[in-house]
Chain A
Amino acid sequence: MNLIKSSIRVCMQKFRLSLTDIRVWMALVIAAIFIFTYEKDIFDYAQGIDAEVTPWLFPFLNGQKFIRIILLLGPVLFFCNAPFVNSSYIYTVIRAGRNTLTIGNIIYIILFSILYYIFIIILSILPFVFNIDWSFEWGTALGTLSMYPSENVIAIISGKITTFFSPLQAMFFTFLLSFVCSVFLGLLIYAINSITKTRFMGTVTAVFLILCEPLSRNFIKLMWFSPVSWSNIDYLSISSIDDLPTFEFAIISYTTIIVALIIIIFFTNKHSDITIIEEE
């Protein structure tokens, strides 16, 4: 019980530091700008056809390659310095202990990922909150765009999602898979930085996976090996006809990889020397 309480305190300490971290605010502002730009066309289109837009835009943020990369780079920016060594790190380690610190860092990655995607959902609704049709259906605008894309709208509204998922289902599964993908990226950076004792190799690896993900769209078999692809419900199999990874495969694979990364992180941090970072 003490271990959990201390780990949560370590996690809260990291959150306090995040509030003054310019990278965090930059990532959130950039996400806000791109989401607003991406969705504005949808709202203009809806006005043109005299319809309102429902609030279920979040699942479609993954549809356009560039927006998807921007949103995935958010977690990379937040977690790029894992294991979050700062100038007073040594004093934190002496007080917390290695295991508590590691657990606290992992809890931080998980909680931050949840908050990030809640923020993205709110961002997807907030700029247009006074022009939204608060219904539990996809609505006329999204429904029409999913069947008949408009060249004036850069957003890609997937017909697969509107056909096979209800809005709440799509929101839930997209949130779950996006959050898990963010945790995966955070832990990947943490594990690789810990093993290589660098502050950049983890980030390079995560960015490589994100930038290679669009390639997997052209080679379906590659999607089975691209963890970043699994976070987009549009790339998961709905029927047994296609060759896409299933939802169950995505969840089991994410869980397995995350558990493996956590084991690596614990093992590496337990046995390695702790290096003090000089202040810049």
Chain B
Amino acid sequence: MGNIIEINNLGKSFKDANILININFSVEKGKIIGIIGRNGSGKTVLFKCICGLNRPTKGTIKINNRELGKDIDIPDRIGAIIENPGFIPNYNAFKNLKFLSMIKNKIEDKQILDAIALVGLNPKSKKHVGKYSLGMRQRLGIAQAIMEDPDILILDEPMNGLDNDGVQDMRRLFLKLKEQGKTILLASHNKEDIEVLCDVVYSMDKGILKVLKSE
């Protein structure tokens, strides 16, 4: 399998602070890549760069051989959770995801309902997302990321706020998605999640990426 993501000499600075320093790595299609690091190490900024939300100060990011910021603005067929999932508080789960799905207009209501059920939420619940716990919002964030059947999943701390059962459910889900050929980038400060799920593991500390485990 080829590399679906290639990052070369990536750097990102905000004002005088270097957040990412010479990041180099590639991601093979169909693998789960883990990045472990403390809060503030640069994981989220890296993921935002890969999603096209942040413009690198230097270096290149290629997704399926297409360079971000040059050939494409935002990668195609990508699903992501970045930081805490945000939704429209006075809409219920289905309405929130339906609202988002209307932009590409490529999926039916059934796929939205299936995605909500897959993450352990009640797809027919009328409860407004504003009243959800952090764990429920996290699950809805994952549903949002997977509902349109993306090829690449960028998941920033996806287990945040989940109880033990929720963590186990999501681990099973991610492994199932991997079997379907999805490529997953997963960031966490929890070592156990990374060890159980990931084929390759990196550590991030003060913007520098190091290999901890390779295939």
Contacts and interface: CB of A to CB of B under 8 A. Distances in A.
B88 A94 contact: no
B96 A273 contact: no
A96 B55 CA distance: 17
Nearest to A276: B83
Contacts of B86: 86-91, 276-279
Contacts of A272: 55
Interface stretch (B58-66, B72-80, B112-120, B185-193): B72-80
B84 A274 contact: no
A126 interface: no
A94 B80 contact: yes
Contact of B104 (A6, A270, A274): A6
A93 B100 contact: no
Interface string B75-98: 000111011101111100000100
Given A88-B86, A89-B86, A273 B73 contact: no
B102 A12 contact: yes
Given A93-B53, A273-B55, A88 B87 contact: yes
Contacts, number: 75
Interface string A239-280: 000000000000000000000000000000011111011110
Interface residues of A, number: 31
B88 A13 contact: no
Nearest to B51: A94
Interface residues of B, number: 28
B103 interface: yes
Contacts of A33: none
A90 B78 CA distance: 12
B73 A276 contact: no
Interface in A73-105: 86-99
Contact of A97 (B74, B79, B102, B105): B74
Nearest to A280: B89
B48 to A, nearest CB: 7
Contacts of A96: 74, 103
A20 interface: yes
B21 to A, nearest CB: 17
A204 B100 CA distance: 31
Given A94-B78, A270-B73, A87 B103 contact: no
A91 to B, nearest CB: 5
A40 interface: no
B213 to A, nearest CB: 29
Given A95-B104, A273-B48, A276-B86, A88 B55 contact: no
A86 B102 contact: no
**Which of B88, B96, B103, B104 gathers the greatest number of chain A CB atoms within 10 Å?**
B103
Contacts of B51: 94
Given A88-B96, A94-B78, 13 more contacts: A13-B102, A87-B88, A88-B86, A88-B88, A90-B53, A90-B86, A91-B100, A92-B103, A97-B74, A98-B52, A98-B73, A278-B86, A279-B89
7 contacts: A13-B103, A86-B88, A93-B53, A96-B74, A98-B74, A270-B73, A276-B86
Interface of B: 48, 51-55, 73-74, 78-80, 82-84, 86-90, 96, 99-100, 102-105, 144, 148
The 5 closest A-B pairs by CB, nearest first: A87-B86, A95-B103, A274-B53, A273-B54, A98-B73
